[in-house]
Every structure is written in structure tokens, then in C-alpha cells.
Copies of this chain bind each other. A is one copy, B any other.
Amino acid sequence: MTEIRLVLKADGTTEPFDSSKLKNSLTKSDASDVLANEITAKIEKNLKKVTSTDEIYKTAYKLLKKTKNKTAARYSMKRTILDMGPTGFPFEKFVAKIFAEKKYKTMVGIMLDGFCTDHEIDVIAEDEDDLLFCEVKFHNDLKTKTDTRVALYVKARFDDLKEKEYDLFDKRMKPTKGIVITNTGFTTSAEKYAKCVGLGMISWDYPKKGNLYDLIAETKLQPITSLTTLSKNDKKRLIEEGIIVCRDLLSNKQILSTIGLGKNKSNKILTEAKEVCSY
């Protein structure tokens, strides 16, 4: 009988290693069944008594990268978004781009007068039926969950705004829904509360369908932080210039020389960007 191997999760708890979970996460990121099986088997063979999810992730990423750059980039999306920090503003812009890709009209960082006081709305998204007011919570640490307090203040803020009409996007309308969007997760209590009061919540893997991972996969928006040919500093410079996703870079290629990169380096970056954007 083989000994049970434990996985140490980000929240400090452990659970037995489950090879099907790892395999699923790999196939979900476009790895073929054969490749996913192969990588899972390799990792399982080398597990210690207790291995952190972080270690497992990093090993899987390395193995993926050896075979398929595109799949590895996608698998590492959670970290890629983390690399948009330390401020939350690039992630806000990224969220607005997701909505824009889904045919919403969007605005970022807008102050609006509520019934009692004024509020800053991180992302406003409008289509024919809906006017969504989104609070975007970016955490620099995957262990930090967005908690009930956030859900509570977004609810109270939405209450203060919902009865008024706003002139936005050449239209006059009331907001239809408040949404909290985070790059990490929600506490159980926050999910429970939000569901109960009708507040929208989107995290990396919540709700089961239409979560952040699904939205990125669906819109095929790849943050530039996923490009391995870019240094940390280059990424920072590009984000400051408003280049958030690979597509921004491909439609604005000269930006690379603007931030001081040579021709050779730029070509390598553009080649990777094309590969990553093509799925």
C-alpha cells in the first residue's frame, strides 16, 4: 500500500493529494490528455510527505513550459494576474477590457453622486439591459480572501446609488446590479451574504460558471505579465503606458522602442506575444 501524500494549501490546511484534480487543472488549461497524464504522473512520483500547492504548481508549470509555451502561459494565469500588482489599477483596466470584449461599454474610476454621498465606482459596464457597477478588489497575496466587509460596503454603496438615474454612455438609466470582482477568492460568509442580498461576485473560481478564469478563457485576453520574454521592469513600464494585454502590444508595437528596448529583444517579445495571443 502506498503512503498518503498530503498537499499543503494556501490557507494552511492540508488534504490528500488527488491526481485527478491536478490533471483537471492541466487539461482545463489546454494541455492534451496525454500531456496532462504525463505531467501528473511525474509530479506524483516525486511528491514528498507534505508538498505545498505552490510547489506542485511550480513544478507543473516548469514541465508544461518544456513542452508548450502557450499552455504554460494559460496555466500560470492566476500568478500572471498577481504580477499586475502591486497597485490594483492595471487589474481594474483588465476587468474593463473583459467587459468590453463581451460587448459592454465601459468606464474606469468614475465618481458618482449617490443619495447620501458620492462614491467611486471602479468599473462601470453597460449593455442594452444592464448597467453594472463593479468594485474590483485586487490582492497581492493569493492567501488574502475578499471578506464579508467588502460585500457589505459594496451592498450599502449600491443601495445609496440604485434609486438614482445616471447619464452614462449617452443614456439615462439606473444601475441594475452591483458586483464585486477579485483576483483571489471570497470567504464563505461573503459568498453567503452576497447571494442572499443579490450582489454579484466573481473570483478566480466563483461562481462555478462565469468565473474570472472562464471570462479570460472566453475573451482570450492574455495579460502582458504572462510574457516570459519581458523583464519585470519592462512589464511595469508597459503597464504604465497602458499596455495591459498582449493584443494592446501587438496593435502598438513601437511602444517597445519607446520604453528603450532594442530591435532583437523587441522581435523576441513580439514573437512570444503573437504565439500567446493566437489561441
Contact = CB atoms under 8 A, between A and B. Distances in A.
Contacts of A149: 153
Interface of A: 115-119, 148-150, 152-153, 155-157, 159-160, 189, 192-193, 196-197
18 contacts: A115-B196, A116-B192, A116-B196, A116-B197, A117-B148, A117-B192, A117-B193, A118-B189, A119-B148, A150-B153, A152-B153, A152-B156, A152-B157, A153-B153, A155-B156, A156-B156, A160-B193, A160-B197
Determine chain A's interface SS by DSSP, over half rule: helix
A5 B149 CA distance: 44
Given A116-B197, A117-B196, A153-B153, 6 more contacts: A116-B193, A149-B153, A152-B157, A152-B160, A153-B156, A160-B193
Contacts of A156: 152-153, 155-156, 159
Contacts of A119: 148
A221 B189 CA distance: 37
A196 B157 CA distance: 13
Question: In this complex, which of A148, A153, A156 has the most chain B Cβ atoms within 10 angstroms of its Cβ?
Answer: A156
Nearest to A155: B156
Residue with the greatest number of chain B CB neighbours at <10 A, chosen from A115, A118, A150, A155: A155
A148 B116 CA distance: 11
A215 to B, nearest CB: 26
A199 B118 CA distance: 17
A159 to B, nearest CB: 8
> Which of A115, A119, A153, A197 has the largest count of B CB atoms less than 10 A from its CB?
A153
B117 A189 contact: yes
Contacts of A157: 152
A186 to B, nearest CB: 12
A157 B189 CA distance: 13
Contacts of A152: 152-153, 156-157, 160
